[in-house]
Amino acid sequence: MNSRRLKSKRARRAREIQDQIRRVLLKDFKLLGFAAPEDEYDCLIGGIYRLLVRKADQEDIVQWLEEMSATHFGVPSELKACRLTAGKLLTLNVELP
């Protein structure tokens, strides 16, 4: 496979991973108790991706989500929602070709 095709494949896969993370956040990580705009949690995608690539465990992701809720969004998070979200995030395949 030539380098241009590999880069294209990697870029396409990276977008898929971002979309998967976004969908989990939008479905399960409801900070205010209602549906958020589609791009509401995009600021979290990079950090979550790094945690997943590092093979962080569920508790590490829960703590990070709680911290981001408080510091970035200025609202407390629900531990149950953070655990549910972290568990679903951990099922994602984040490997790039």
pLDDT digits 0-9 by tens, 20-78:
999 999 998 877 666 788 899 999 999 999 999 999 999 999 999 999 999 999 988 88
DSSP 2: -
d(CA 8, CA 61): 30
Written as one string, the DSSP assignment of 52-96 is: HHTT--HHHHHHHHHHHIIIII-SPPPHHHHHHHHHHHTTS----
pLDDT confidence of 16, banded at 50, 70, 90?
Answer: very high
Is 85 part of any domain? Answer: yes
pLDDT of residue 6: 73
Number of domains in the chain: 1
Asked whether residue 12 is assigned to any structural domain, the reply reads: yes
Q: Does residue 75 sit within a domain?
A: yes
pLDDT for position 90: 98
**Mean pLDDT value across residues 86-93:** 98
pLDDT (0 to 100) of residue 70 = 94
Tell whether 96 is covered by a domain.
no
3-state secondary structure of 44: helix
The whole domain housing 70 covers: 3-89
